[in-house]
Amino acid sequence: MDASSLLSPVSYAMKVSTEGPITIISKDGASLCGAFCAVFNCIQQINMDDSVDVFTTVRQLQTRRPEFCSTPGEYLLVYRALHSYVGTISEKIYENL
């Protein structure tokens, strides 16, 4: 999976207006769910604080579910997705000037 394939459902989930929790399902209950949750939480952190701590976000998820982001590939996917997201929002900032 590439970063844009992960960003698409994350951006959709962020646009959905719901007062309850969002349920994320995968075939084995863990693969790519951790990456999705990490990217979702990190984007929220970027939007609120203008900064992000990916390591702490992933560790907090792993505390509740150790299978989340358990491979270097998933962890790298999170970083690539966030890099792509930050590039997208920084382009929009420069367009508004």
Whether residue 4 is predicted with pLDDT greater than 70 in this model: the reply is yes
- State the pLDDT at residue 93: 58
Tokens in use for 7? 């960003």
Average pLDDT over residues 80-84: 94
Which residue matches tokens 């309850």?
20
* pLDDT, tens digit (0-9, with 9 covering 90-100), for 34-72: 999 999 999 999 999 989 999 999 999 999 999 899 899
3-class SS string, 29-57: CCCCHHHHHHHHHHHHHHHHHCCCCHHHH
- State the pLDDT at residue 32: 87
pTM of the model: 0.85
